[in-house]
Structure 1
């Protein structure tokens, strides 16, 4: 059962985000955050024996305009094995234009139109921190579990802290992740310097970002794999 009120709220919030420019690529802090995330993503895939990605079917839930999903082609993923889902149809239209060889569709992750065990890997990047309704979160996690094959994995990247300046998100603790995926094995590390701080480092970003991000309390996200039992 889809959580219609929560879906409507999410669509409204995401549309508001589209009007903001806080994640401009012109900002050195934003670029460093993304570069760090790409580097860690590659390391995670390598350490868990998932490379190359050539034969693996991959779904990106909340794929936005498709950049993260398309970046997996650098690790050998075949575009015909890549699928992206997003609530906002305008995001999907842009993704289709930018990456026509990848499968994109608009939809709600509470009801995924794929057979059981279809995917080897599911990307969940800042998905559950945006869902404030507990039932919707449970619905999405159950669908993700269903469409993952035994031994498949979730590639997780999400806030671990609440944002006092944004009531539309909430941090997802390690305990909360374990509650959403109770029988999965969790391999999570902290990453990403507090974004508002990172964006204000200016010319000092290249040397100050690694210094500050070495402090665990300033790392705002978890990133890693959640592995479904075989």
Structure 2
């Protein structure tokens, strides 16, 4: 387990808002928007939000929360907007949920909709921390999280994007009890519920052992890596794909 003192605690929305300021009238697409938390937070700060998600129930919740957002049921490979129609594309904890073979094409599609000089931000959880260690009893995401990082590297090597900045921080989440943690985990993937029920006793023990406690409840730490990427303005360099796989 990583020493939690190695990364500063941070709030994802605050970090994104600072990176993208000024937000007023910026066109931003949230790829894998879920129930609309990020849509709402950035719209409140003046951004013109759009989003896609394959889950219709999540989209309905997002529509109710952010009625002015342009929301569509779609995956990351087929964004229903034209070339260079957005200023920013964001993957918030969503790239590792894209099938592995589609991760690089998803980054290319994001680059298409923001166009040359546009911004792509990928926020991904690392395979470290107490939140991750608790989640592993429900689903071990080690391989898909690494695949997401590998896809970003491949996108940079192929000239799809270039990295402007990389930020690592510690997301701290508080839960009143195990049920709240399970609800949080299942919200990202309803298929996790069956495994959570099957592993309930072990999960309870691990949750209580790993958590810190204060007035907010049980605290779990999740190290996060944020990639601030730009689509190059010049022509993409010619790269032999055989060199990089």
TM-score, scaled relative to structure 1: 0.66
Q: State yes or no: 1:221 paired with 2:224.
A: yes
* Aligned position for 2:166: 188
What is the CA deviation profile of residues 6-63 of structure 1, one whole-angstrom value per residue up to 9, with x for unaligned ones?
Answer: xxxxxxxxxxxxxxxxxxxxxxxxxxx7x62223223322xxxxx2222321100000
1:155 CA drift (Å): 2.0
| 1:117 Cα offset (Å) | 1.1
User: What is the aligned counterpart of 1:126 among 81, 87, 93?
Assistant: 93
**Given the alignment of the two structures, is residue 61 of structure 1 paired with residue 26 of structure 2, yes or no?**
no
Distance 1:99 1:128 in 2: 22
Is the aligned partner of 1:73 residue 2:48? no
Secondary structure of the equivalent of 1:150? coil
Q: For 1:111-190, what aligned pairs fall within 5 Å after superposition?
A: 111-134=78-101, 136-161=102-127, 165=136, 166-168=139-141, 170-172=144-146, 176-182=151-157, 183=159, 184-186=161-163, 187-190=165-168
**TM-score for both structures, normalised by structure 2:** 0.63
The worse-fitting range, judged by mean Cα deviation, of 157-166 and 67-76 is 157-166
1:175/1:107 Cα in 2 relative to 1: closer, same or farther (>3 Å)?
closer
**Structure 1 unaligned regions, length at least 5:** 1-32, 46-50, 214-218
Pick the structure with greater CA Rg: 2
- Mapped partners of 1:205, 1:175: distance in 2: 36
Asked whether the equivalents of residues 141 and 181 of structure 1 are also in contact (C-alpha less than 8 Å), the reply is no
Aligned residue pairs total: 180
Which residue of the partner structure matches residue 201 of structure 1? 212
> More displaced, 182-191 or 61-70?
182-191
Q: Is the CA contact 2:119–2:230 (under 8 Å) kept in the aligned structure 1?
A: yes
The aligned counterpart of 2:71 is: 104
- The alignment partner of 1:111 has SS state of coil
The CA distance in 1 between the partners of 2:149 and 2:110, in whole Å, is: 18
Q: CA distance change for structure 1 residues 98 and 73 in 2, over 3 Å: closer, same or farther?
A: closer
Superposition deviation, residue 177 in structure 1: 1.5
User: Which secondary structure does the structure 1 equivalent of 2:121 belong to?
Assistant: strand
Deviation at 1:122, TM superposition (A): 0.5
SS in 2 for 1:43: helix
Please name the residue that 2:22 is paired with.
52
Distance 1:194 1:53, change over 3 A: closer
Aligned pair in 2 of structure 1 residues 99, 42: CA closer, same or farther (>3 Å)?
Answer: closer
